[in-house]
């Protein structure tokens, strides 16, 4: 889905407010005032606050499907290399878009709004379908195991990255990395997180220890 600059401005304003105040704690009027537009413009572009949230999901993770499809077609990479790229890109996306991550966690933990949860699941199901195609490619080449639980595998990645992000300060203190500047710590953190998840996925997907 393509968005205009004005739509992106509204979506990003809503994202920040949803992360700060929660979905239920943010009104369409709040979003309009913060974005410097009138309420009618939000109705014109999105129809409702729920549809605006759907648009946010599309903006942040809607391109994942296309990215996986392009990787599937890339014959220069092995199936495991493609999976590793997806892992690194997921980590980077979550680290860069922490407001969206906070919203996603809130939506799924509180489960207060069935319409929002349905919209989130719609995007996740669509992306899981193309990940399945990537895994099938590896299975056809004899690289991946025949039986792989795709959803549990993805949950392993999503849950690990999510919990790691929430507990970064704890991780930093436990590993005595308080003296590192933020950039140095972030680089070390992402590298270790990447290695950890890739190791798990290698065990899940292949016969290699």
Burial class of 100 by CB neighbour count within 10 A (0 to 12, 13 to 18, 19+): buried
**Same domain as 187, residue 137:** yes
* pLDDT the model gives residue 116: 75
* pLDDT the model gives residue 21: 87
**Same domain as 197, residue 179:** yes
Q: What is the pLDDT of residues 139-173, one digit of tens each?
A: 999 999 999 999 999 999 999 998 898 899 999 99
Q: At residue 209, does pLDDT exceed 60?
A: no
More confident residue, 98 or 161: 161
**Same domain as 201, residue 112:** yes
Range of the domain at 38: 5-57
**Same domain as 114, residue 43:** no
Q: And the tokens for 66?
A: 């296309």
At 20, which CATH number? 1.10.10.60
**Same domain as 41, residue 106:** no
> In angstroms, rounded to a whole number, what is the distance separating the alpha carbons of residues 118 and 112?
11
Which long-range CB contacts under 8 A does 67-76 form with residues at least 24 apart?
68/127, 68/130, 68/131, 68/133, 68/134, 69/130, 69/133, 71/134, 72/130, 72/133, 72/134, 72/137
At 186, which CATH number? 1.10.357.10
**Same domain as 32, residue 117:** no
**Same domain as 75, residue 131:** yes
Of 103-107, 145-149, 178-182, which gets the smallest average pLDDT?
103-107
**Same domain as 49, residue 78:** no
Q: At residue 127, does pLDDT exceed 70?
A: yes
Q: What is the pLDDT of residues 9-42, one digit of tens each?
A: 999 999 999 888 888 889 999 999 999 999 999 9
* pLDDT the model gives residue 201: 97
Q: At residue 100, does pLDDT exceed 90?
A: no
**Same domain as 117, residue 33:** no
pTM confidence score = 0.81
**Same domain as 101, residue 39:** no
**Same domain as 148, residue 110:** yes
* pLDDT the model gives residue 111: 60
Domain count, the chain: 2
């Amino acid at each position: 889905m393509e968005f205009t600059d004005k739509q992106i401005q509204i979506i990003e304003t809503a994202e920040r407010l949803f992360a700060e105040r929660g979905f239920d704690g943010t009104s369409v009027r709040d979003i309009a005032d913060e974005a410097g537009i009138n309420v009618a413009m939000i109705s014109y572009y999105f129809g409702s606050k729920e549809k605006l949230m759907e648009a946010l999901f599309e903006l942040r993770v809607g391109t994942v499907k296309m990215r996986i499809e392009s990787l599937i077609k890339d014959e220069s990479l092995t199936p495991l290399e493609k999976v590793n790229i997806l892992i690194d890109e997921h980590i980077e996306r979550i680290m860069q878009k922490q407001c969206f991550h906070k919203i996603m966690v809130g939506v799924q933990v509180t489960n207060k709004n069935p319409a929002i949860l349905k919209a989130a699941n719609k995007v996740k199901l669509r992306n899981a379908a193309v990940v399945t195609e990537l895994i099938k490619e590896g299975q056809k080449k004899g690289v991946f195991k025949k039986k792989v639980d795709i959803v549990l595998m993805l949950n392993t990645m999503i849950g690990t990255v999510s919990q790691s992000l929430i507990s970064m300060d704890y991780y930093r203190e436990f590993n005595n990395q308080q003296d590192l500047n933020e950039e140095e710590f972030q680089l070390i953190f992402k590298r270790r997180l990447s290695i950890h998840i890739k190791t798990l996925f290698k065990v899940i997907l292949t016969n290699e220890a």
